Amino acid sequence: MPDLTRRNEQSRRAILDAALGLLGDTGYAKVTIEAIAARAGVGKQTIYRWWPGKGAVILDALVENATAVTLPDSGDLEADLRLVVRATVAEFADPRLSATTRALTAETLADDELAGQVRDRLLRPQLDAVRDRLRAARGAGQIRAGADLDQAVELIFGPIFHRWLLRTGPLTDGYADGLVDHVLAAIRP
C-alpha cells in the first residue's frame, strides 16, 4: 500500500494521469515505471516510494478513475440484472480494457498483495452492489428465502470471467442474457 503521508498531491495526480495516458497509448505490457516517471515529470524513486511496482500504480489509477458502482432498482430484477450483466460483458469485450485487465490479472497470480488490492478495491464494490440488489429483491419476495446470495453473485460473474480469461467463446448480449436466465432460474421462488 502506498505511503500516503509522504505524497505531494500534484505529483501523485501527475503519476496516475501519466499511467492512464500510457495505458491508452501503448497498452499495459509496454508501460514501465520509467515511462510513467518521465511522462509525469517525477523521478522513479518518487513512484517507488509510494508504490511497490507498476501493477499498484495502474490499480490506483483505475480505482481513482472508476465511476461509482450504482445498480438500477426499477423493481424488475430481471431487467436490472440484464442491464448490469450486459454492461459487464461489454467491458470485458472491449479490447483496450480487456488487455489491461488481462495483464493486471496475470500480475495478481504472482503477487498476493496486489491480488488482495484488486479484489478489495476494484472487484468487491461491484460484487457487493449486486449482492445488495439481490438482497433487496429477496426482501421483495423475488428471490427464494434460502438462496445463497454469495453463490448467486459468483454464478453471475464467474462464467464471464472464465469465458474472458480462457477465451472459450464470445462475450455478447445473448451470452449475458443467458447467464441472467440461468441464475434467476436457480434463485427465484
pLDDT per residue over 129-169, tens digit each?
999 999 999 999 999 999 999 999 999 999 999 999 899 99
State the chain's mean pLDDT as an integer.
90
Mean pLDDT of 75-104: 88
Our measurement of the distance from residue 149's CA atom to the centroid of its chain's CA atoms, rounded to an integer in Å, reads: 20
Please list, in sequence order, all residues whose beta carbon lies within 8 angstroms of the beta carbon of residue 147, skipping any fewer than 6 positions away: 134, 138, 186, 187
- Please, which pLDDT band fits residue 103 given cuts at 50, 70 and 90? confident
Fold of 71-187: Tetracycline Repressor; domain 2 (1.10.357)
Mean pLDDT of 74-94: 92
Domain ranges of the chain: 4-64, 71-187
pTM listed for this prediction: 0.80
Q: Which residue has the cell 434463485?
A: 187
Q: Which of 137, 145, 179 is nearest to 162 (CA)?
A: 179
Is CATH 1.10.760.10 the classification given to domain 4-64?
no
